[in-house]
Amino acid sequence: MKLQIVYDNQAEKDFKSGWGFACLVDERILFDTGEEPKSLLDNLARLGLEPTRIEAVVISHDHWDHTGGLWKLLQKRPGLPVYGCPGFSRGFKNKVALLGGRLIECAGYTEIEPNIAVSGEIMGEYKSAPLPEQALMVKTALGLALITGCSHPGIIQVVKTVRHQLPKEKIRIVLGGFHMKAMDQKDIDSIIETLQKLGVERIGPTHCTGQTAQKSFAQKFGKNFLTVRAGAEFTV
């Protein structure tokens, strides 16, 4: 199955960059939507993908840099299923309904289709307020590919939740935002060590992970470090 990064702070040649994240799974299921709708649509067009081909959108958490492109997509594709969490804001839920989206609130593990699922709500914190977030997982022959938005609950918490939900699956890949910008080196090293102990094989930190953490991941994971940016494509 193909994972295509369609929104990121960094971009490959001919792709637009912007603050936020979005990853397209199997050319049909969009995880997060970045900040600027135009950049998202331009990046999709660059890959030859019509937004009307998107069958479902998963929103990791209710932050502008992950929901920004959703509203334009809903206008282009009314009735689009949107996988969110019960704890998302009333404003978010109302807007999805107003634009004709079909909101599916995932309290816990929810299958979108046999090999694609969301973790459902994992509680995190942002600016001292509770913030629910979910991750997307794709089951492959080699293990799980796990895609995260900002990992506000902590990347370790996200990986542990998914391991608990699917204890038999190996964790082949984790990619997305890990929210490690403000961390010191000691905490960064400890998180990397824990992820390796949890059996994470390949890693693609991006977005809000922070450059210091990204460098450390690259060092510790070596050839299993993935460079994630808009335009990048991974087969899982």
Q: Would you count residue 29 as binding Zn ion (CB under 5 A)?
A: no
Both structure tokens of 96? 């999805």
Instruction: Give the residue, chosen from 118, 150, 183, 232, that forms a contact with Zn ion under the rule CB under 5 A.
Output: 150
Q: Mark 61-100 with x for binding to Zn ion (rule: CB under 5 A) and - for no binding.
A: --x-x-----------------------------------
**Per CB under 5 A, which of residues 190..229 are in contact with Zn ion?**
208
For 225, which DSSP code? B
Closest residue by Cα to residue 33 from 9, 55, 57: 57
Q: Report residue 185: phi and psi, to 5°.
A: -60, -35
Distance between CA 100 and CA 97 in Å, rounded?
A: 5
CB of 151 to Zn ion, least distance (A): 9
Nearer to Zn ion, 51 or 210 (CB): 210
Distance between CA 71 and CA 194 in Å, rounded?
A: 37
Q: Would you count residue 33 as binding Zn ion (CB under 5 A)?
A: no
CB of 135 to Zn ion, least distance (A): 13
Both structure tokens of 122? 């994992």
CB of 100 to Zn ion, least distance (A): 26
Stretch that binds Zn ion, among 9-17, 43-51, 60-68, 83-91 (CB under 5 A): 60-68
Q: What is the DSSP string of 3-57?
A: EEEEE-SSB-TTS---SS-EEEETTTEEE---S-HHHHHHHHHHTT--GGG--EE
Q: Would you count residue 16 as binding Zn ion (CB under 5 A)?
A: no
CB of 203 to Zn ion, least distance (A): 18
CB of 153 to Zn ion, least distance (A): 11
Which residues of the shown chain bind Zn ion in the complex (CB under 5 A)?
63, 65, 150, 208
